[in-house]
Chain A
Amino acid sequence: QSALTQPASVSGSPGQSITISCTGTSSDVGGYHFVSWYQQHPGKAPKLIIYDVTSRPSGVSNRFSGSKSGNTASLTISGLQAEDEADYYCASFTTSRTQVFGGGTKVTVL
């Protein structure tokens, strides 16, 4: 199972919106509603910020939103803040009943 494709880096100024893409195939992202997104700060464990494509766990800011079109899922961060600077990973359920992660995207707040 190949890793999902994410851009290596995305940057934006405080207050702006940015979008991170996550491209897979019909065997993973395109075939199921089970895409999740994780935020990871250096030296810390990942944190779930989106599950089932669009749902936010309790306590996660509504500045984070998810969507999907075909084989590509997207994470949008609105009103970018300094604390959003981190690595972001997408993940998807697959036809093999396994999970595959994206390679990760480093978000920089300018």
Chain B
Amino acid sequence: QVQLVQSGAEVKKPGASVKVSCKASGYTFPSFGISWVRQAPGQGLEWMGWISGYNGNTNYAQKLQGRVTMTTDTSTSTAYMELRSLRSDDTAVYYCTRDRSITMVRAGDYWGQGTLVTVSS
């Protein structure tokens, strides 16, 4: 069965960086994309970006351009999301999702369990 297993919770200080991993299993990794979505406490969903599992092409949300980098390691079927220059309003649960397309963000049909990132001094 399809599974996305994310790395554990993180606590970071303002200005630091965080890198969250998402290990996929149960499907052919290069045949799908991966999107990252975050949810601040008590708030709605926010799309962060998408990466193709096929060729590593990316699209990022404009507000995160320059602070976020998404990568994949096809040898281990793992996707990574790194967010730099962390601020308190980056405190959120971060989700990876398997996207139905390898050419563009379309819809996330399987989701990871979420990773809580807390930014606090």
Contacts of B69 in A (CB 8 A): none
Q: Given contacts A36-B107, A45-B95, A99-B105, are A1 and B50 in contact (CB under 8 A)? A: no
- Main secondary structure, interface of B, reads strand
Interface size classification for chain B = 20 to 34
* Contact assessment for A91 and B107 in the assembled complex, using a CB-CB cutoff below 8 Å: yes
CA distance A34 to B61 in the complex (A): 17
Decide yes or no whether B44 CB sits under 8 A from chain A.
yes
* Contact assessment for A99 and B50 in the assembled complex, using a CB-CB cutoff below 8 Å: yes
Decide yes or no whether B45 CB sits under 8 A from chain A.
yes
* Contact assessment for B44 and A47 in the assembled complex, using a CB-CB cutoff below 8 Å: no
Decide yes or no whether B47 CB sits under 8 A from chain A.
yes
A91 → B minimal CB distance (Å): 7
Closest-by-CB residue of A relative to B95 is A45
Decide yes or no whether A69 CB sits under 8 A from chain B.
no
* Contact assessment for A45 and B112 in the assembled complex, using a CB-CB cutoff below 8 Å: yes
Cβ 8 A contact of B104, one of A36, A38, A57, A97: A97
* Contact assessment for A103 and B106 in the assembled complex, using a CB-CB cutoff below 8 Å: no
- Interface residue tally for chain A (C-beta within 8 Å): 25
CA distance A52 to B106 in the complex (A): 8
With A98-B49, A104-B44, A104-B45 given, name 20 new contacts (CB 8 A): A1-B61, A36-B106, A36-B108, A38-B45, A38-B108, A46-B95, A46-B111, A48-B107, A51-B100, A57-B109, A91-B107, A93-B105, A97-B59, A97-B105, A98-B50, A98-B60, A98-B61, A98-B62, A98-B105, A99-B35
* Contact assessment for B62 and A45 in the assembled complex, using a CB-CB cutoff below 8 Å: no
CA distance A49 to B108 in the complex (A): 10
CA distance A47 to B108 in the complex (A): 8
The list of the 8 closest CB pairs from A to B, nearest first, reads A51-B107, A36-B107, A45-B111, A104-B44, A99-B47, A99-B105, A101-B45, A48-B109
A61 → B minimal CB distance (Å): 16
Q: Which of A45, A48, A96, A101 has the most chain B CB within a 10 Å cutoff?
A: A45
Decide yes or no whether A64 CB sits under 8 A from chain B.
no
Decide yes or no whether B74 CB sits under 8 A from chain A.
no
CA distance A93 to B45 in the complex (A): 15
